[in-house]
């Protein structure tokens, strides 16, 4: 595993797994949300889809040939499905994701957990909406994964790295 894409819906454990894999395999890790929402001196700026792809390709070309990208599924990330030699789909049970969304929100509101966005009730509602939308469109996402065959590793536990070869 040299080029790893970790994909999953909100609160599936993508960041936890990316951190652990990065430390274990000594591969740099990139959070796709920070590529979409770039921090500038004047605040967060949303890059266009073309700008996002340019940043991803620049990281791929200028690195040592290894990387871990993690995020939700966006149209601008489709190049990563092709570029990755391993695609990890994190898919914990829905009930667990619902609990994680709420716990994360509380931790962020209390200042215990950092985040790159404003943790308000609008964002909390959006996370649950994105989760519902993902579940409603799961069939099409699963069909997309089918195209990548043996590159795909399905996993339900972000803390376990038992699949690492």
The rounded distance, in Å, linking the Cα atoms of 41 and 87 is 34
CB burial of 128-155 (b: ≥16 within 10 Å; e: otherwise) equals: eeebeebeeeeeebeeebeeeeebbbeb
Q: What integer pLDDT is reported at residue 64 of this predicted model?
A: 84
Q: What integer pLDDT is reported at residue 165 of this predicted model?
A: 56
The domain covering 3-155 belongs, at the CATH homologous superfamily level, to P-loop containing nucleotide triphosphate hydrolases (3.40.50.300)
Bridge partners (DSSP) listed for residue 7: 71, 89
Bridge partners (DSSP) listed for residue 44: 39
The domain locations on the chain are 3-155
Token pair for 95: 């009930």
Residue with tokens 């376990």: 160
Tens digit of each residue's pLDDT (9 = 90 or more) over 110-149: 999 988 888 999 999 999 999 999 999 999 999 999 999 9
């Amino acid at each position: 595993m040299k080029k790893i894409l970790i994909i999953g819906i909100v609160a599936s454990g993508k960041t936890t797994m990316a951190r652990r894999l990065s430390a274990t395999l000594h591969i740099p890790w990139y959070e796709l949300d920070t590529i979409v929402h770039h921090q500038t001196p004047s605040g967060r700026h949303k890059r266009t889809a073309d700008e996002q792809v340019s940043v991803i390709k620049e990281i791929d070309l200028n690195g040592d040939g290894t990387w871990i990208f993690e995020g939700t599924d966006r149209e601008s990330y489709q190049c990563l499905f092709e570029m990755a030699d391993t695609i990890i789909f994190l898919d914990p049970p829905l009930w667990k994701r619902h609990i994680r969304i709420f716990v994360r929100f509380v931790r962020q509101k209390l200042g215990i957990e950092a985040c790159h966005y404003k943790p308000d009730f609008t964002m909390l509602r959006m996370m649950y909406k994105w989760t519902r939308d993902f579940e409603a469109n799961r069939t099409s996402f699963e069909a997309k994964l089918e195209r990548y065959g043996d590159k795909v590793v399905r996993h339900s536990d972000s803390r376990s790295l038992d699949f690492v070869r």
